[in-house]
Amino acid sequence: MKLLNFTLLTLVFVFCLTDAFAGNAALKANIKDINGKPVAGVKLFLYESTNVRKPADFISVRSDEGGRTVITAPKGRYWAVARLKKDALYGPLMPGDKHSGEPVEIDLSENTEIEFIVADILEVGQKKRTDNSDTVRVRGRILDKDGKPVPNAYAFANATKEIEYIPEYLSAWTDENGNYTLYLPAGGRFFVGSALKYPPPPTPALLKEFVPNATKSDIVTDIQLIVY
């Protein structure tokens, strides 16, 4: 009887284990830069909800020289972000780190393959720039509470005070003098702010309402940095 019970328990365990593996699906990712070249060292982060500011539920191994990585997770719906960080898995992105931007919703009901494009904040800012005649260049400095310039920060602009994940418009990282440049459509209404961490929090503090002057192509303004 004991042998029969042991055999039965073994069969149940094997059945459950097989069922668990049958309930998984693989997400194969091809990671490229904005020029279409593969990027090595990128990790894919899967989240079970739209809250991608918390630790990920699943993390892939780093992408190989061909920009390929794979992650296996239980079948379901996820939101995916690809990141290349030089130091820790989490925390603010710094100059040279790369990010895929807005999270991608994925239906992982079966094995899936998808392409991610990662870029530095400088490249993201350039991608979001509008290159038509109505574009206004907003230049200035980011300062701390003592009026000193802040390097390695960035300015951003968004149509609303609430930022879903990444602002609509971004500057590059500021230089040692705190200088930034934003490209915005003329005539729009924006909320402008600055931060050290990337992405910024969903509800940044002390945003400035800003309406670019359609009659000017260059606008100079200073933004006081708020460290979140």
* CATH code, 178: 2.60.40.1120
- Domain enclosing residue 159, as ranges: 121-224
Does residue 199 have a pLDDT over 80?
Answer: no
183 — pLDDT class (breaks 50, 70, 90): confident
112 DSSP β-pair partners:
27
Q: Which two tokens stand for residue 166?
A: 């990444």
For the chain, what is the domain count?
Answer: 2
Among 55, 90, 117, the domain-final residue is 117
Q: Average of pLDDT values for 178-184?
A: 87
More confident: 145 or 92: 145
Q: Average of pLDDT values for 192-206?
A: 79
Q: Average of pLDDT values for 110-131?
A: 74
Q: Average of pLDDT values for 105-117?
A: 93
The DSSP 8-state label assigned to residue 61 in this structure reads P
Q: Average of pLDDT values for 74-98?
A: 79
Shared-domain flag, residues 101 and 7:
yes
Shared-domain flag, residues 126 and 202:
yes
pTM, 2 dp: 0.60
Query: For position 3, what pLDDT does the model report?
Result: 41
**Paired sense of beta strands 98-99 and 218-220, if any:** unpaired
Contact present, 195 and 216 (Cβ < 8 Å): no
Q: How far apart are CA 61 and CA 116, in angstroms?
A: 15
Burial 145-160 (b: 16+ CB within 10 A, else e): eeeebbeebbbbbbee
Q: How far apart are CA 193 and CA 157, in angstroms?
A: 7
Shared-domain flag, residues 167 and 130:
yes
Lowest-confidence pick of 53-67, 84-98, 110-124, 147-161: 84-98
